[in-house]
Amino acid sequence: MANAYLQVIAHFFAKPGHGDAIVKHLAELAEATRAEPKNLYYEFFRSPLEPDHFVILEQYSDANGLAEHRETEHFQHLGFGAIIPLLERREVSSHMVPGDAA
């Protein structure tokens, strides 16, 4: 049986020409995030048609996982410090995925 988890879906839209820098920072962020105790999954994808558009899929073991992720040193440094300043906009949504009923 699967347990409930928090699914996060983020769309990052880089300022024109900053896509390659975003890839570098997201790769570092992904590696660090995967080591977080509540992280279950972290992958990012770059659009082949719009190279400044990224989709990030994250899963956390509970509803607090995302908030705790945002407080980590690596997110403060890479997310707030390096990635977000290179974005035109971002859209982030999170949803609880129910576990299997007993």
What CATH number is given to the structural domain containing 33? 3.30.70.100
pLDDT, residue 90, reads 97
Vertex 52: Cα angle to 50 and 56 (nearest 5) = 100
86 found inside a domain = yes
Distance CA(20)–CA(45), nearest Å, equals: 12
> Is residue 99 pLDDT above 90, yes or no?
no
56 within a domain of the structure (yes/no): yes
Above pLDDT 70, what percent of the chain?
97
Number of separate domains in the chain: 1
Domain-embedded: residue 101: no
Q: For residue 102, is it within any domain?
A: no
For range 47-70, the mean pLDDT:
95
Asked whether the whole model's pTM tops 0.85, one would answer yes
